[in-house]
Amino acid sequence: MFTGTRFGMTNQVRKAVDTIAELYELLGRPSVLLPIRKGKKGPNFKGWNGMTCDKSQSVDYQKRLRSHANTGVLLGEASGGLCSVDLDDDLSLERFLKSNSLLRRSLITKGKRGGNVWIRLKGPIPRTQKLSWGEWRADGAQTVIRGFHPEGMEYRFLSKGKPVELRFSGIKFPFENAPNLTQRNATLEVPHNIGCYAIEPKEERTKGERFEEELYEKLVGRHLKPNPNSRNANLVKSLSFLFYQVSPSAALSMGMMIYDKHANVWKDTRDRHEYECRHLIDSMTLEYTDRQLSGKSKELYLSLSEKERVAFRICRSLAKPSGRRGNSKFFLSSPELAKRIGIANRMGEADRKAAYRILQKLRSKGVIREGKKGNRKSANEYRWILKVTGNSESKPVFSEKAKNRFCYLLVEPTPKRSSGIVLLPEFEIGVA
């Protein structure tokens, strides 16, 4: 009778060999497995969070893997988008599965309480995030999949299906907060003796993101009134304003903040929201050139660089020139313009010098005239002097092409009026 001992293996080792092979079959490739001591929640060897699938296939590593009672799985891009949703208690686990019935057939594991729902993500992957109901685990994190819990019980499978593949937008989080997809590139500080339950990401926001957060609170956040039936209205109203106040990329980021900061309120998916943001900004960009400008003003605008065009729109919006008349006064500091355009110096601060050069370029082109100089407490005074030829009255345009594509094209709103409903292709009309 074969017992494994005649080939130099004890029953325990033979069981480990079979189990590791089974895990690879269950998780699929690429998957990075991690050796963990019995009763521990995380690996204790240096560099585990930088392990790759190729490195983990070496003979020595595989021997080490099979000699340990516990096994973890490195999550995120290292394992081909494999992530886990860690629910702290049984009630949260049931609420999550009730909202995501598709995931009931996915791989689900359990230690003492709650459980981990395993998912293989397609597309962008949010960073690892600790939340009130548990944890979203991805890049830099790991989850124990087999072995023994520190309190003695064995990790077990509640569902032994393969991890379901889907996009992040397809996951519903029925809790007061949800993982934030917009912050995907955090640097994780992981002490060598801390397991997956205690990983806390250290965010490193880009210069542009710091400006956008500040501008969001200033321009959007205080005016937003989120409720389940207002996403579309909030989005259209906000982007119709932001397009003339910041760069398109900043407008897109802040448009996504509208969703991410209130994800528990909105009914639609994040993918749909992002699609609408991009489509709306593209439509306004096209319409601004074709309908808001003509003749020399359009020729001048098209001769500018992208950053200079953003400054053109910002200055014109702040000046609010009436009809075709120019000579409208407004106030704008160079640091404020730098933040709105997204220009930073090496120190990560708003690059006032670069912004001032852009203003001087507009002055030299006869767009604005510099007035009274400001100081540390007040902004510079400028006057809009360019006579803009084109449609000064702004309203939604429903073109023949748009009729065929079921799409409203938005143009610049007047100061006292904002555009209303936007209909987009590929999506049904309805309350968001």
CATH topology of domain 293-384: Arc Repressor Mutant, subunit A (1.10.10)
Quick one: pLDDT band at residue 419, thresholds 50, 70, 90? Answer: very low
For 42-46, 266-270, 315-319, which range has the lowest pLDDT when averaged over its residues?
266-270
Quick one: pLDDT band at residue 327, thresholds 50, 70, 90? Answer: low
* Sign of the C-alpha dihedral computed for residues 21, 27, 29 and 30 taken in this order: negative
Token code pair at residue 326: 């120019």
pLDDT (tens digit per residue) in 274-303: 888 888 888 888 788 877 888 888 888 889
> pLDDT value at position 71?
93
Q: Give the contacts of 409 (CB within 8 A, at least 6 positions apart).
A: 283, 284, 286, 287, 396, 397, 398, 399, 402
Quick one: pLDDT band at residue 206, thresholds 50, 70, 90? Answer: very low
The yes-or-no verdict on residue 330 having pLDDT over 50 is yes
DSSP letter at 6 equals: G
According to DSSP, the β-strands at 164-167 and 115-122 are parallel
Torsion on CA atoms 173, 177, 182, 183, rounded to nearest 10? -120
- Other CB atoms within 10 Å distance of the CB of residue 94: 13
pLDDT (tens digit per residue) in 351-406: 889 999 999 999 999 988 888 887 766 788 898 888 765 544 333 333 343 333 33
300 or 424: whose pLDDT is higher? 300
The answer to whether the beta carbons of residues 93 and 115 sit under 8 Å apart is yes
How far, CA to CA in Å, does 3 sit from each of 18, 22, 139?
Answer: 13, 19, 40
> pLDDT value at position 423?
33
Residue spans per domain, the chain: 5-202, 293-384
Give the span between the Cα atoms of 325 and 312, in whole angstroms.
16
Using only C-alpha atoms, what is the Rg of the chain? 28
> pLDDT value at position 93?
92
Sheet holding 142-146, edge to edge: 32-36, 70-74, 142-146
The yes-or-no verdict on residue 418 having pLDDT over 80 is no
pLDDT (tens digit per residue) in 11-32: 443 344 357 888 888 998 789 9
The yes-or-no verdict on residue 208 having pLDDT over 80 is no
Quick one: pLDDT band at residue 75, thresholds 50, 70, 90? Answer: very high
Averaged pLDDT of the chain: 76
Quick one: pLDDT band at residue 2, thresholds 50, 70, 90? Answer: very low
> pLDDT value at position 110?
93
What is the share, in percent, of the chain residues with pLDDT greater than 90? 22
Mean pLDDT score, 46-58: 87
Instruction: Tell me how far the alpha carbon of residue 173 is from its chain's centroid.
Output: 16
The yes-or-no verdict on residue 120 having pLDDT over 50 is yes
How far, CA to CA in Å, does 180 sit from each of 8, 136, 223, 260?
Answer: 50, 10, 21, 6
What is the share, in percent, of the chain residues with pLDDT greater than 70? 76
232 or 64: whose pLDDT is higher? 64
For 89-98, 180-189, 190-199, 373-382, which range has the lowest pLDDT when averaged over its residues?
190-199
> pLDDT value at position 414?
35
The answer to whether the beta carbons of residues 84 and 142 sit under 8 Å apart is no
The yes-or-no verdict on residue 7 having pLDDT over 70 is no
The yes-or-no verdict on residue 229 having pLDDT over 90 is no
Quick one: pLDDT band at residue 124, thresholds 50, 70, 90? Answer: confident
The yes-or-no verdict on residue 84 having pLDDT over 90 is yes
Nearest to 264, CA basis, from 173, 351, 330, 338: 173
The yes-or-no verdict on residue 306 having pLDDT over 90 is no
The yes-or-no verdict on residue 222 having pLDDT over 90 is no
126 or 267: whose pLDDT is higher? 126
**How would you classify residue 180: left for phi > 0, otherwise alpha for psi between -120 and 50, otherwise beta?**
beta
Quick one: pLDDT band at residue 182, thresholds 50, 70, 90? Answer: low
Give the span between the Cα atoms of 111 and 307, in whole angstroms.
54
The yes-or-no verdict on residue 57 having pLDDT over 60 is yes
Nearest to 381, CA basis, from 399, 363, 369: 369
pTM, two decimals, is 0.46
Quick one: pLDDT band at residue 119, thresholds 50, 70, 90? Answer: very high
